[in-house]
Amino acid sequence: MSIAESLNPDLEGGVLDAGTVPSGGEVASAYTGAAWRLTMRSFFDNRLGLVGLVLLVLLLLFSFIGPFVYHSDTLVANYSINLPPGPGHPLGTDGNGRDILGRLMLGGQASLIIGIASAIVTTIIGTLWGAIAGFFGGAVDTVMMRIVDVLLAIPTIFILLYLQTIYHPTVTLLIATISSVSWLTAARLVRGETLTLRAREFVRAVKVMGGSRWRIVYRHIIPNTVGVVVVQATFTVANAILILATLGFLGFGLEPPAADWGSMLSGGVNYIYDGYWWLIYPAGLLIVLTVLAFNFIGDALRDALEVRLQRR
């Protein structure tokens, strides 16, 4: 039996053409579809996960489809300021006379785009960084992880406020800013996972069959950290939305007249003693619901992707 056969018993003595065998000797797994289905089944069995998914879908519809259904001028300021909910303005107007419901939709777009984009950037950088550091080890690992340690030692809020002060806040800048502080956690997680993976038999087998180190990293290490990465990514989305809300609340959110929920919340706090609840509760509620949705999804994905927690 060839090594390939020993690693893939389903081949049942089949002989692979040497010209088609990749350098690492891998063949496509026959279990991919089944594993995916098992994961999905496990995810959908998780009620909180489903709640999170439904919430997320509703929030996406509210933010991106809502403006097509509910038309309002969300950018032009006027003198109808702080109107309570009523005809024409179901959730009232803000301190600049703009329709709150419309701006919540606008703010939802910004929050979700920035949150998801930050999670993608964070995941890519963090995964690559952690996998490389963990697999190569030695001096490479020491240098790369010390960089992470140093960056982690700098107060996140300081970095965020510094960057937002120096540059004019835009969606792109916010994504870059939030990603710059979020990838560190992902890198540490993936590096830890890689340290356990690199000692596993299948990795040693690839080495024996002449697979290059880079091939091991991108073909075997990274795919096997997908569980950790996906879960971390969902939490990163939630965290990014919270960071955006924090920046907005502190006055470092998107420049007006663009909207983000944190800035809306901050604007409402100015009138907290006036009882203008419509300036505070809707934005606050949407922040909570969005973060909750991603956390529920993240929890459910972790349960689904973690073999030990799966129901078989």
Residue 83 CA to residue 288 CA, distance in Å, equals 24
Query: What's the rounded Cα separation, in Å, for the pair 96 and 103?
Result: 11
Length of the chain: 312
Closest approach, Cβ 61 to other proteins, in A, equals: 29
- Sole window of 11-19, 110-118, 196-204, 267-275 interacting with other proteins (rule: CB under 8 A): 267-275
Q: Which residue stretch of 2-10, 148-156, 182-190, 269-277 sits at the interface with other proteins (rule: CB under 8 A)?
A: 269-277
Among 6, 78, 196, 212, binds other proteins (CB under 8 A): 78
Q: Which of 79, 87, 139, 153 binds other proteins (CB under 8 A)?
A: 79
d(CA 149, CA 185): 10
Min CB(97)–other proteins separation in Å? 8
Which residue in 287, 275, 268, 278 sits closest to 89, CA to CA? 278
Minimum CB–partner distance for residue 121 and other proteins (Å): 25
Closest distance between other proteins and the C-beta of residue 65, in Å? 25
Burial class (CB in 10 A: 0-12, 13-18, 19+), 77: middle
* Under 8 Å between Cβ of 259 and 93: no
| Contact string (CB under 8 A) for other proteins, positions 273-302, x = contact | xx----------------------------
What number of CA atoms fall less than 13 Å from residue 32's CA on the CB side? 6
The window from 102-110, 190-198, 253-261, 283-291 that contacts other proteins (CB under 8 A) reads: 253-261
DSSP secondary structure letter of residue 101: H
Candidates 64, 136, 271, 277; binder of other proteins (CB under 8 A) is 271
Q: Does residue 270 interact with other proteins by CB under 8 A?
A: yes
Long-range contacts of 170-174 (CB under 8 A, 24+ apart): 170/254, 170/255, 171/110, 171/113, 171/114, 171/254, 174/114, 174/118, 174/244, 174/247, 174/253, 174/254
Among 204, 251, 288, 307, which residue sits at the site for other proteins (rule: CB under 8 A)?
Answer: 251
Total number of residues that touch other proteins (CB under 8 A):
18
Tally: H helices and E strands in the chain: 14, 0
By the rule CB under 8 A, 166 interacts with other proteins: no
Q: How far is the CB of 273 from other proteins (least distance, A)?
A: 5
What residues make contact with other proteins under the rule CB under 8 A? 75-79, 81, 95-96, 168, 251, 255-257, 269-271, 273-274
